[in-house]
Protein backbone atom coordinates (compact mmCIF):
# COMPACT_ATOMS: atom_id res chain seq x y z
CA UNK A 1 0.00 0.00 0.00
CA UNK A 2 1.54 3.28 -1.10
CA UNK A 3 1.98 6.00 1.48
CA UNK A 4 1.57 9.57 0.22
CA UNK A 5 2.20 12.62 2.38
CA UNK A 6 3.15 16.23 1.71
CA UNK A 7 6.65 17.36 2.62
CA UNK A 8 5.09 19.30 5.52
CA UNK A 9 3.45 16.10 6.81
CA UNK A 10 6.77 14.20 6.54
CA UNK A 11 8.56 17.04 8.35
CA UNK A 12 6.01 16.79 11.19
CA UNK A 13 6.52 13.05 11.78
CA UNK A 14 10.25 12.63 11.05
CA UNK A 15 13.17 13.97 13.08
CA UNK A 16 15.22 16.66 11.30
CA UNK A 17 17.95 14.08 10.55
CA UNK A 18 15.43 11.52 9.26
CA UNK A 19 13.86 14.18 7.04
CA UNK A 20 17.28 15.19 5.66
CA UNK A 21 18.18 11.58 4.80
CA UNK A 22 14.83 10.00 3.90
CA UNK A 23 13.12 12.90 2.08
CA UNK A 24 16.13 14.92 0.86
CA UNK A 25 18.36 11.95 -0.07
CA UNK A 26 21.04 12.72 2.48
CA UNK A 27 23.58 10.38 4.07
CA UNK A 28 24.41 9.88 7.73
CA UNK A 29 28.09 9.90 8.70
CA UNK A 30 29.73 6.45 8.48
CA UNK A 31 30.04 4.53 11.73
CA UNK A 32 27.46 6.66 13.54
CA UNK A 33 24.24 4.77 12.86
CA UNK A 34 22.32 2.85 15.49
CA UNK A 35 22.08 -0.30 13.33
CA UNK A 36 25.61 -0.46 11.88
CA UNK A 37 26.77 -3.10 14.41
CA UNK A 38 23.27 -4.38 15.29
CA UNK A 39 22.77 -8.17 15.02
CA UNK A 40 19.48 -9.19 16.63
CA UNK A 41 16.84 -11.42 15.04
CA UNK A 42 13.92 -9.50 13.55
CA UNK A 43 12.85 -7.24 10.72
CA UNK A 44 14.08 -3.81 9.70
CA UNK A 45 11.24 -1.52 8.62
CA UNK A 46 11.09 1.90 6.96
CA UNK A 47 11.48 4.64 9.59
CA UNK A 48 9.01 6.81 7.66
CA UNK A 49 6.12 4.45 6.89
CA UNK A 50 6.90 1.24 8.85
CA UNK A 51 6.89 -1.01 5.74
CA UNK A 52 9.02 -4.18 6.23
CA UNK A 53 12.26 -3.85 4.22
CA UNK A 54 14.94 -6.30 5.35
CA UNK A 55 15.14 -9.49 7.42
CA UNK A 56 17.96 -9.67 9.94
CA UNK A 57 19.09 -12.92 8.28
CA UNK A 58 20.23 -10.88 5.24
CA UNK A 59 22.35 -8.42 7.26
CA UNK A 60 26.14 -8.78 7.20
CA UNK A 61 29.22 -6.88 8.36
CA UNK A 62 30.69 -5.24 5.28
CA UNK A 63 32.97 -2.89 7.22
CA UNK A 64 31.58 0.08 5.26
CA UNK A 65 30.25 2.00 8.28
CA UNK A 66 26.55 1.58 7.44
CA UNK A 67 24.14 -1.33 7.88
CA UNK A 68 24.64 -3.75 4.97
CA UNK A 69 22.18 -6.31 3.64
CA UNK A 70 22.61 -8.73 0.74
CA UNK A 71 18.91 -8.72 -0.21
CA UNK A 72 15.63 -6.95 0.59
CA UNK A 73 12.23 -8.48 1.31
CA UNK A 74 10.74 -9.12 -2.17
CA UNK A 75 9.01 -6.00 -3.50
CA UNK A 76 10.03 -3.82 -0.54
CA UNK A 77 12.71 -1.76 -2.27
CA UNK A 78 12.83 0.07 -5.62
CA UNK A 79 16.05 0.84 -7.48
CA UNK A 80 16.68 4.16 -9.24
CA UNK A 81 19.67 5.29 -11.27
CA UNK A 82 21.56 8.01 -9.37
CA UNK A 83 24.06 10.11 -11.32
CA UNK A 84 24.66 12.68 -8.57
CA UNK A 85 28.10 13.44 -7.12
CA UNK A 86 29.81 12.65 -10.45
CA UNK A 87 29.24 8.89 -10.22
CA UNK A 88 26.77 6.33 -11.49
CA UNK A 89 25.13 4.55 -8.56
CA UNK A 90 21.90 2.70 -7.86
CA UNK A 91 19.76 4.41 -5.23
CA UNK A 92 17.39 2.26 -3.17
CA UNK A 93 14.08 3.65 -1.88
CA UNK A 94 11.16 2.25 0.09
CA UNK A 95 8.55 0.89 -2.35
CA UNK A 96 5.73 2.09 -0.09
CA UNK A 97 6.66 5.73 0.54
CA UNK A 98 9.60 6.44 -1.78
CA UNK A 99 11.86 7.29 1.16
CA UNK A 100 15.61 7.23 0.48
CA UNK A 101 17.35 4.26 2.09
CA UNK A 102 20.82 4.34 0.58
CA UNK A 103 22.52 2.66 -2.38
CA UNK A 104 23.12 -0.87 -3.65
CA UNK A 105 26.52 -2.02 -4.91
CA UNK A 106 27.23 -5.17 -6.92
CA UNK A 107 30.29 -7.30 -7.53
CA UNK A 108 32.36 -6.27 -4.53
CA UNK A 109 33.29 -9.89 -3.76
CA UNK A 110 31.44 -10.35 -0.47
CA UNK A 111 30.64 -14.01 0.22
CA UNK A 112 26.88 -13.46 0.09
CA UNK A 113 24.22 -15.23 -2.01
CA UNK A 114 23.56 -12.16 -4.20
CA UNK A 115 27.02 -10.50 -4.41
CA UNK A 116 25.19 -7.27 -3.56
CA UNK A 117 25.57 -4.82 -0.69
CA UNK A 118 22.53 -2.72 0.19
CA UNK A 119 24.23 0.11 2.06
CA UNK A 120 21.42 1.61 4.16
CA UNK A 121 21.32 4.64 6.46
CA UNK A 122 20.36 3.65 10.03
CA UNK A 123 18.08 6.67 10.33
CA UNK A 124 16.03 5.26 7.44
CA UNK A 125 15.31 2.12 9.48
CA UNK A 126 13.43 0.91 12.56
CA UNK A 127 13.92 -2.56 14.05
CA UNK A 128 11.24 -4.97 15.28
Residue ranges covered by each domain of the chain: 7-127
pLDDT value at position 31? 95
pLDDT value at position 4? 87
pLDDT value at position 38? 95
CA distance 93 to 53: 10
CB atoms within 10 A of CB 108: 12
Prediction pTM value: 0.94
CATH number of 7-127: 2.170.150.20
Pairing between β-strand 59-60 and β-strand 68-69 as defined by DSSP bridges: antiparallel
pLDDT value at position 1? 59
pLDDT value at position 86? 86
Low-confidence ranges of the chain (pLDDT < 50): none
Name the E strands within the chain: 43-46, 52-55, 59-60, 68-69, 77-82, 89-94, 100-106, 116-120, 125-127
Active centre residues (catalytic): 119
pLDDT value at position 87? 85
pLDDT value at position 18? 97
Amino acid sequence: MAVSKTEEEWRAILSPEQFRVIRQKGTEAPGTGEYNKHYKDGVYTCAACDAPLYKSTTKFDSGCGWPAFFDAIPGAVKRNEDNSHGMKRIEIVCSSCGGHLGHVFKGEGFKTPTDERHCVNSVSLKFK
